[in-house]
Amino acid sequence: MVSKARMLFLILAGLVLSGCSSLKAYKSSSERLAVVTIETKELNADNLWFSTYDIEGEKYSCDNPNVTVYAILNNISVISAYADKGKNTSSVTFDIDAEKEFRITTTQPLYNELKNGKFTYYYCIPYVSFTPESDKNYKVVHGYDGEFCRMSVFEVRENGSEDKVVNVSEEPICPNKNIFE
């Protein structure tokens, strides 16, 4: 006879492993679209969640519970599959609303760096926002030029060349907030 606790565990494990607990993919709500590819150059950084805070009127807040997850790159977690894109991948492409500010952030809880024989730990939250134009392609790159705590935005031309987007804001998503509180 199987105990209730064991039965509950087996049911929950089955749901998790079957993908029933996976996150829903981001879907654009507009008819005017642009295409964005999110990419990371940091192949050693696991489980990079790329998300945004849905905020009406208030530009930055970490207390806002309305979070949209765009992608999980370098995902090694079995539990948090992301709409069939939770595989160990370094880039994801999807449609976004055009002519409307697009804000995106990622978190890497502890990034360590060896300097002068000592490990230095950082908690960085790279953040960018820009307004995409309709029918254009963009690439948001995390870790471009080895800058782990920054993201860069490029417009991808039809011939495959990339131009850095000039009108990009790199403000923190949680200004003046002590992240260790």
Is 113 within the bounds of a domain? yes
Average pLDDT, whole number, for the chain?
69
pLDDT at 89: 76
Is 134 within the bounds of a domain? yes
Residues contacting 19, CB < 8 A, separation 6+: 81, 84
Residue 155 to residue 107: CA distance in whole angstroms: 23
Contact present, 74 and 46 (Cβ < 8 Å)? yes
Is 105 within the bounds of a domain? yes
Is 81 within the bounds of a domain? yes
Question: What are the φ/ψ torsions at residue 140 (nearest 5 degrees)?
Answer: -105, 120
DSSP H helical ranges for the chain: 4-18
pTM over cut 0.85: no
How confident is the model over 120-177, as pLDDT tens digits? 666 677 888 899 999 999 999 888 887 777 888 999 998 988 888 878 887 654 544 4
Question: What is the domain range of residue 92?
Answer: 23-164
Is 88 within the bounds of a domain? yes
3 state SS of 85: coil
Quote the radius of gyration of the chain (alpha carbons, Å): 19
pLDDT at 104: 85
Residue 36 to residue 96: CA distance in whole angstroms: 7
Is 49 within the bounds of a domain? yes
How confident is the model over 25-62, as pLDDT tens digits? 455 555 789 998 888 887 666 677 777 765 555 555 55
DSSP state of 169: B
pLDDT at 147: 77
Residues 90-126: b if buried by 16+ CB within 10 A, e if exposed: bebebebbbeeebbbbbbbeeeeeeeeeeeeeeebbb
Is 72 within the bounds of a domain? yes
pLDDT at 139: 93
Residue 26 to residue 108: CA distance in whole angstroms: 21
- Count the domains in the chain: 1
Contact present, 173 and 55 (Cβ < 8 Å)? no
Is 174 within the bounds of a domain? no
Place of tokens 């230095």: 120
